[in-house]
């Protein structure tokens, strides 16, 4: 399978604090890669390095390389172009305080699409892909803040899909949601990986086993173990991974 993201020798500092230590990992196209590990171990930090959201953090320094389709995203790519190709879904649903339609159309408009018919079509396909179309098709002009938490999160997924990214980063997308919404989003991940590459942070290990192809286990800013999800959970090679997944710490 083709490699989508390739991270090598990545070190990341927040001021003096080293949050990531010598990260090397490759993520394949059309796979779901899960990041697991105790909180504070650097999962979100690595995820945010993949679409350069860390650039917003003052005092954040990064060394090493991150290649997306063999292009260095820190050196040879416009940041807006990168973020168009690598979408992100946040832990807490963050729909904009505007209508459902305008939420979805925001990305395409940002990238220069103005024609109403084209926008209409993008809004409809994105909402369908995020399987929320049926629930909102009669209220597209209503505020997105009126939706439930689970609907808001699927709306955010649709919003990310609307710019036609290649990769979708998800940072604990279901941690604020009820079980049914969580299930819907997991099913969604499963459907979406046919067309997209998905990288998901989760602290829920069942979730990782249910939806991911590969799993990376993080501890104190390092990747302890990375491999097939089945292998990681059934036969972890590292003692620390085993301790974590059997619930002995974290």
Q: Which of 170, 169, 165, 131 is nearest to 151 (CA)?
A: 131
Q: Which residues pair with 88 in a beta bridge?
A: 169
Interface segment toward other proteins; rule CB under 8 A; list 18-26, 51-59, 64-72, 118-126: 51-59
User: SS3 letters for 185-224?
Assistant: HHHHHHHHCCCCEEEEECCCHHHHHHHCCEEEEEECCEEE
Measured CA to CA, the distance from residue 237 to residue 235 in angstroms comes to 6
- Of 41-80, which residues contact ligand ADP (CB under 6 A)? 41-45, 57
Q: How far is the CB of 94 from other proteins (least distance, A)?
A: 4
**x/- site string to Mg ion, residues 18 to 47, per CB under 5 A?**
--------------------------x---
Using CB under 6 A, pick the residue from 9, 21, 24, 40 that binds ligand ADP: 40
The DSSP result for 45-82, as a single string, is HHHHHHTTGGGGSTTEEEEEEEEETTEETTTSS-HHHH
The pattern of x and - marking residues 158 through 197 that bind ligand ADP according to CB under 6 A reads ----------------------------------------
Q: Which residue is nearest to Mg ion (CB)?
A: 44
Which one of 11-19, 108-116, 135-143, 240-248 is the stretch in contact with ligand ADP (CB under 6 A)? Answer: 11-19
Answer whether 34's CB lies under 8 Å from 99's CB.
no
Beta bridge partners of 106: none
Site size for ligand ADP (CB under 6 A): 12
Residue 14 binds which of Mg ion, ligand ADP, other proteins, none (CB < 5-8 A, kind-dependent): ligand ADP
13 lies in the binding site for ligand ADP (CB under 6 A): no
When binding is defined by CB under 8 A, the residue of 62, 130, 160, 200 that contacts other proteins is: 160
For 112, list phi and psi in degrees, rounded to 5.
95, 5
167-171 and 86-89 beta bridge pairing? parallel
Q: What residues have CB less than 8 Å from 175, skipping those under 6 apart?
A: 91, 202, 203, 204
Considering the rule CB under 5 A, would residue 54 count as an interface residue with Mg ion? Answer: no
User: Residues with Cβ < 8 Å from 17, sequence gap 6 or more?
Assistant: none
Q: Which residues bind other proteins (CB under 8 A)?
A: 51, 53, 56, 80-84, 87-88, 90, 92, 94-98, 106-107, 110-111, 142-143, 145-146, 156, 159-160, 163
Q: Which residues bind ligand ADP (CB under 6 A)?
A: 14, 17, 19, 37, 39-45, 57
């Amino acid at each position: 399978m083709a490699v989508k993201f390739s991270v090598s020798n990545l070190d990341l500092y927040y001021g003096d604090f080293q949050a990531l230590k010598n990260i090397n990992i490759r993520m394949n196209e059309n796979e779901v890669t899960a990041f697991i590990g105790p909180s504070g171990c650097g999962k979100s930090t690595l995820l945010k390095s993949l679409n350069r959201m860390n650039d917003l953090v003052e005092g954040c320094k990064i060394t090493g390389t991150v290649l997306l389709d063999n292009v260095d995203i820190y050196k040879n790519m416009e940041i807006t172009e990168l973020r168009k190709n690598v979408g992100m879904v946040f832990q807490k649903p963050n729909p904009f305080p505007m209508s459902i339609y305008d939420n979805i159309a925001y990305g395409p408009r940002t990238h220069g699409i103005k024609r109403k018919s084209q926008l209409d079509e993008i809004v409809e396909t994105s909402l369908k892909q995020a399987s929320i179309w049926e629930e909102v098709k009669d209220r597209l002009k209503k505020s997105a803040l009126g939706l439930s938490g689970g609907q808001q999160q699927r709306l955010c997924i649709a919003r990310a899909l609307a710019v036609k990214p290649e990769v979708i980063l998800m940072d604990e997308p279901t941690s604020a949601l009820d079980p049914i919404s969580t299930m819907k989003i997991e099913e969604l991940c499963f459907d979406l990986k046919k067309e997209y590459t998905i990288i998901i942070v989760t602290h829920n290990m069942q979730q990782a086993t249910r939806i991911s192809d590969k799993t990376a286990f993080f501890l104190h800013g390092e990747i302890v173990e990375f491999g097939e999800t089945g292998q990681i959970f059934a036969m972890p090679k590292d003692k620390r991974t085993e301790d974590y997944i059997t619930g002995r710490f974290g």
